[in-house]
Amino acid sequence: MQPQTEKQAWETDQTLASLYFWNDHALFAGFTPDNEMHKHHGVEIFIGINAPINLISEGRVFSHRTMILNANVPHHVAGFNNPKIVIVYDSETAVARMLVEKYLGNKKIAGLDDQLVPLIQDMVLPVGGKSSCQNAGVLYEKIINSLLDSKALTKNVDQRIQKALNCIRKLELKLISTRLIAETIGLSESRLIHLFKEQVGVPIRRYLMWLRLIEAVKSILDGYSLLDAAHNAGFADYAHMSRTFKKMFGNPPSMIFKNSRFVHVFSCFS
């Protein structure tokens, strides 16, 4: 018997789901159950692999193979049997702002079928393994480069901000503050805050919150309780972490990780 391709595996095994985290965005690939009406802070790109996605918002049904959803829009995604790619950005990131400016303007939802449907035909879906971050990164870059000018997304990072990023990676995450980072790299706190957002595309405090969410996810997958995971990542309590997680991803961590053996979570930080 010939081994299954990645795409065949996705089509036959509905327990497969992968969640990838980068510095300022996340990519989910897989089968998702119906969810309740919710809204959150992230700008999202939706891609239905085999069929259109039915997104319900304010009494209307939007049916597209691919679409983009603005932040803070109440919505509910229906349909379990259609595997999906969902990319989530904090709405204050540079990429999110460019997507909103180019495709949404004052609209809440926009269909992107013309831009992305041709790309779906040759899509290779990451399903695990040592190279998952690399494969998911290639998939992400194909999607975003088809939507935005890749030259606009590429710029050299100021050496002081690169030093700040290196500092963040070395320090214990739950103890990091903008004041400590500023002192370490020799900038005033106000200058660090301004320069970081300009260079990285996301406010530094929101970036640190993103990292803390990732740290909490790692702890959950390592077997820690939700409360202990929250404390490990520097949240005051589980309720604080849960609110923050729901604002970004639409559901509390208790819902996403109750069957975590079916969700493979990958940290893909550079």
More confident residue, 71 or 266: 71
Contacts of 78 (CB under 8 A, 6+ apart): 34, 54, 55, 56
Model confidence at 212: pLDDT above 60: yes
Specify burial of residue 114 (Cβ count, 10 A radius: 0-12, 13-18, 19+). Answer: exposed
In the prediction, which pLDDT does 266 show?
A: 81
Cα–Cα dist 89/99, whole Å? 10
Residues 8-51: pLDDT tens digits? 444 444 456 788 888 788 998 887 655 678 887 889 999 998 88
Domain segments of the chain: what residues?
6-153, 159-250
Domain 159-250 sits in CATH 1.10.10.60: yes
- CATH top-level class of 6-153: mainly beta
Model confidence at 125: pLDDT above 70: no
Bridge-based pairing of strands 42-48 and 66-69 is antiparallel
In the prediction, which pLDDT does 214 show?
A: 83
Q: Which residues of 73-82 are buried (b: 16+ CB within 10 A; e: fewer)?
A: bebebebeeb
Residues 92-119: pLDDT tens digits? 888 998 999 999 988 999 999 888 888 8
In the prediction, which pLDDT does 202 show?
A: 80
Q: What is the mean pLDDT of the chain?
A: 82
